[in-house]
Amino acid sequence: MVQALGRNTPTVSTHFPWDKVDDVQGLKEKAAGLGVGFDAVNSNTFQDQPGQPLSYKYGSLTHADPAVRDQAVQHNIDCIEIGEALGAEALTVWIADGSNFAGQSDLTGALDRYLDSMARIYAALPRHWRVFIEHKLYEPAFYSTVVSDWGTSLLCAQTLGDKAQCLVDLGHHAPNVNIEQIVARLARFGKLGGFHFNDSKYGDDDLDAGSINPHQLFLVFNELVEAQRRDPEGFRPAYMLDQSHNVTDPIESLLNSAGAVAAAHARALVVDRDALTEHQRANDVIMGFNTLRRAYDTDVTPILAMARYELGGAIDPIAAYRASEWRVRKAQVRKPIAVGQAGIV
């Protein structure tokens, strides 16, 4: 539905076991019929699953007990297999491992166990696959997180090999950090694997992309356009939306987010790069800034609406979606969720 109206979200990134189905081949065919492909698959060792023999309460890929690590490694390998069947070409690994108390965990030992587990997963990657390492500053671990920042993510990706790259979730950084520069650094050293786009004001708030700080999103795309110019061949980061919704209709939020990402990209594309380079060379600070600002101030709403229209999408996706009454019709064929289940936590 999101792809039908917005025309700029051609692939889906599945989470296993959340999105597990029995008939993988059927899912692939159905998606192809809808014009949707599969991008990176995501493993999940951050929640215990019903029937799972060993708990991840004290860690998964970094657990002190090798049997738990084996279970977590095997889950990742299973994800790769399903992903292959779906036509995906990358695995995203995010682990919740860390500690809530100083002294709970051996900070260095935990990383060594992570690298050991990841090497086994890496060895199972098909020829053309990549593995994306996703870092996160905190939560659910509140004292230390094993892969907490891009520095650690980078060290791990370097240690594992060329197929390993870093994935940037915009909400997984410390306050005030310049994320667009992190993007530039990873791109410069060939380690930028992709993105989880979303937005946040406080922590990992998982709000719609660009809803809090659209200027930052523009500056991230400004670096992506720069990186593409430097290395038109090798640069191919994966873009994914990763957000969590409880006050909006998720379809509507995805439409909004996809629109915000497209707008940031469009604005970055209209930057006068020759003028920018010249101002930077001359240390003409105000004009360097104003060159970016002129692009950012451009209202790209009309051109994006026209692009959607020409590709067979909706000029106003949310209005079209509401007019379609898709949600109302779906609600009639799905079981309602009891009040109280989805409480605010």
Q: Which residues between 111 and 170 bind its own copies (CB under 8 A)? A: 111-112, 137-140, 142-145, 148-152, 154-155
CA-based nearest residue to 144, from 176, 97, 109: 97
Number of residues that bind its own copies (CB under 8 A): 112
Stretch of 24-32, 125-133, 172-180, 328-336 lying at the interface with its own copies (CB under 8 A): 172-180
Q: Is 106 in the site for its own copies (CB under 8 A)?
A: yes
Here the tokens at position 345 are 């936590």
Here the tokens at position 188 are 């410069």
- Cβ atoms of 117 and 75 closer than 8 Å: no
What is the SS3 assignment for 104-122?
CCCHHHHHHHHHHHHHHHH
Q: Which residues, 296 to 335, sit near its own copies by CB under 8 A?
A: 296-299, 301, 318
User: What's the min distance (Å) between Cβ of 192 and its own copies?
Assistant: 12
**In whole angstroms, what is the distance from residue 118 CA to residue 61 CA?**
8
User: What's the min distance (Å) between Cβ of 318 and its own copies?
Assistant: 7
Query: One symbol per residue from 13 to 52: x for binding its own copies (CB under 8 A), - otherwise; what is it?
Result: ---------------------------------xxxxxxx
**In whole angstroms, what is the distance from residue 14 CA to residue 331 CA?**
23
Q: What is the largest CA-CA distance in the chain?
A: 64
User: What's the min distance (Å) between Cβ of 173 and its own copies?
Assistant: 8
Q: Which of 23, 33, 57, 334 binds its own copies (CB under 8 A)?
A: 57
Q: Is 337 in the site for its own copies (CB under 8 A)?
A: no
Query: CA-CA-CA-CA torsion for 143, 148, 152, 153, nearest 10 degrees?
Result: 160
Stretch of 27-35, 83-91, 100-108, 306-314 lying at the interface with its own copies (CB under 8 A): 100-108
29 or 162, CB closer to its own copies? Answer: 162
β-sheet bridge partners, residue 194: 167, 238
Q: Which of 22, 23, 33, 108 binds its own copies (CB under 8 A)?
A: 108
Q: Which residues, 202 to 261, sit near its own copies by CB under 8 A?
A: 202-203, 205-208, 211-215, 219, 222-223, 226-227, 230, 246-249, 252-253, 256
Here the tokens at position 100 are 């809530």
User: What's the min distance (Å) between Cβ of 157 and its own copies?
Assistant: 11
**In whole angstroms, what is the distance from residue 110 CA to residue 116 CA?**
10
Query: One symbol per residue from 177 to 196: x for binding its own copies (CB under 8 A), - otherwise; what is it?
Result: xx-xxx-xx-xxx-------
Which residue is listed with tokens 């969590």?
244
Here the tokens at position 89 are 């070409």
User: What's the min distance (Å) between Cβ of 301 and its own copies?
Assistant: 6
- Cβ atoms of 113 and 69 closer than 8 Å: yes
